[in-house]
Amino acid sequence: MANEINKEGRSLLEIIAETGKIPEAMNIRMNGHSCERRVSPNIDIKNKENKPGIDVIVKPNTIGEVVSIPVVITAGNINDKVYNTIDIGAGSDVTVSAGCGIHNDSDDCSRHDGIHDFIIRENAKVKYIENHYGEGNGSGDNVLNPETRIELMENAIAELDMTQIEGVDSTIRFTKIILHDNAKIVVTERLMTSGNQRADSTIEVIIDGENASAQIISRSVAKGNSVQNFFMSLTGNAKCKGHIQCDSIIMDNAKVASTPKIYAANTDAELIHEATIGRIASDQLTKLMTIGITEEEAEDIIIKGFLD
């Protein structure tokens, strides 16, 4: 039976599911159950039959529509694992908004594992926005472990914008991308951790198609005693271009590791991996102080700009 979205859930949705446009189709999941669903003539959403989760089917040549499938958790002691399949029809141009927000005032852990399988068919174009956020006054951890697997067919284009800025105590992120001929993807991941939070992110890109390209931009800020681990892997099996850029700002007593792997199995594969870890540059702070900004404000401005 459908349950009502409570006040905390509404507030979380404003943070994680804002796309600037009312979605044509949506499915809101709260505390382990679907609680609101809308479909459009071009976008259908169905429950999976054998496991929790949904199938989102976008008809071929659907243009300009938004489908939003956020998850909110507003209590402690919830362990929600969900399998979603998103099938983007050939020639479509759509936005998919997902992500999860947790409001946990209890002393028990709440956890959401969102497993997303995308197939982006020939000539389709997708913008995928994923926001992860946690809040609450209890001592229970907020845990989010997303797995996103994306296959881009010939000439498909995807732009992924994945953000986790606040309040997630532990996350293990896994993203795998396979590109076929002429497919193109740009992934931007933004991550900030503080306190004793921990974040692991693996992004694995396999370029199988001729003239396909992938650009992965990962930006993170690690504060307090938090720990971040990045594993970035790029494989070129054809004439292709791939670029991973992984930059981290480290502060306080935080620890950041970045492990690159680039593997080419074709002489025409051009693969680049760049990784930097460093504190906020003192020349940046000094510049902002010379225009009247305090050091603390300057740090915030630099971090906000870096993650923007």
Partner 1 sequence: MNLLEMKNVGVDIKDDVNNNKEILKDVSLEFEAGKIYVITGPNGGGKSTLAKCIMGIMPQNTGKIYLDGEDISDLSIVERSKKGIGYAFQTPAKFKGLKVGNLLKLAKGDSENSIEQTLRNVGLNPEEYLNRSIDNSFSGGELKRIELASILIQDLKLALFDEPEAGIDLWSFKLLIKTFKRLNRFTDTCIVIISHQERIMEMANEIVVIDKGEVAQKTVKNKLLSILNSNDLDNCELTCCERGELCGE
With CB under 8 A as the contact rule, the residue among 248, 286, 299, 300 that binds partner 1 is 286
Residue 276: CB minimum distance to partner 1, A: 9
Return the residue of 181, 289, 299, 300 that touches partner 1, per CB under 8 A: 289
Q: Which is nearer to partner 1, 265 or 289 (CB)?
A: 289
Per rule CB under 8 A, is residue 283 in the interface with partner 1?
Answer: yes
- Residue 186 touching partner 1 (CB under 8 A): no
Q: Does 287 bind partner 1 (CB under 8 A)?
A: yes
Specify the stretch interacting with partner 1 by CB under 8 A; choose among 54-62, 120-128, 205-213, 290-298: 290-298
Count Cβ neighbours within 10 Å for each residue of 63-91 and write b for 16 or more, e otherwise. Answer: eebbbbbbbbbbbbebebebbbbbbbbbb
Strand partners, 84: 116
The answer to whether 152 and 185 are in contact (CB under 8 A) is yes
Q: Give min distance, CB of 158 to partner 1, in A.
A: 23
Q: Count interface residues toward partner 1 (CB under 8 A).
A: 22
CB of 191 to partner 1, least distance (A): 14
Verify binding: residue 294, partner 1, rule CB under 8 A: yes
> Residue 192 Cβ, how far from partner 1 at the closest point, in Å?
13
Whole-number Å distance between alpha carbons of 131 and 54: 19
The one-letter amino acid code at 248 reads: S
Cα angle at 259 between 101 and 282, to 5 degrees? Answer: 80
Instruction: Give CA–CA dist 260/245, Å, rounded.
Output: 10
What the block records as the tokens of 211 is 């003239």
Residue 258: how many CB atoms within 10 A of its CB? 20
Counting contacts by CB under 8 A, is residue 2 touching partner 1?
Answer: no
Rounded distance, CA 259 to CA 45, Å? 38
What one-letter code names the amino acid at 297? E
In the set 219, 232, 243, 250, which binds partner 1 (CB under 8 A)? 219
Reference 34, options 6, 67, 3; nearest CA is 3
- Specify burial of residue 211 (Cβ count, 10 A radius: 0-12, 13-18, 19+): middle
Q: x/- string (CB under 8 A) for partner 1, residues 243-262?
A: ----x---------------
> Closest by alpha carbon to 253, among 223, 221, 282, 219?
223
**Nearest CB to partner 1, comparing residues 257 and 289:** 289
CA 193/CA 224 separation, integer angstroms: 8
Instruction: Report if residue 3 touches partner 1, rule: CB under 8 A.
Output: no
Q: Which is nearer to partner 1, 237 or 245 (CB)?
A: 245
| Interaction between residue 307 and partner 1 (CB under 8 A) | yes
Q: Which stretch binds partner 1 (CB under 8 A): 58-66, 178-186, 207-215, 296-304?
A: 296-304
Q: Nearer to partner 1 by C-beta: 75 or 285?
A: 285
Where along the sequence are the contacts to partner 1 (CB under 8 A)?
219, 247, 281, 283-284, 286-295, 301-302, 304-308
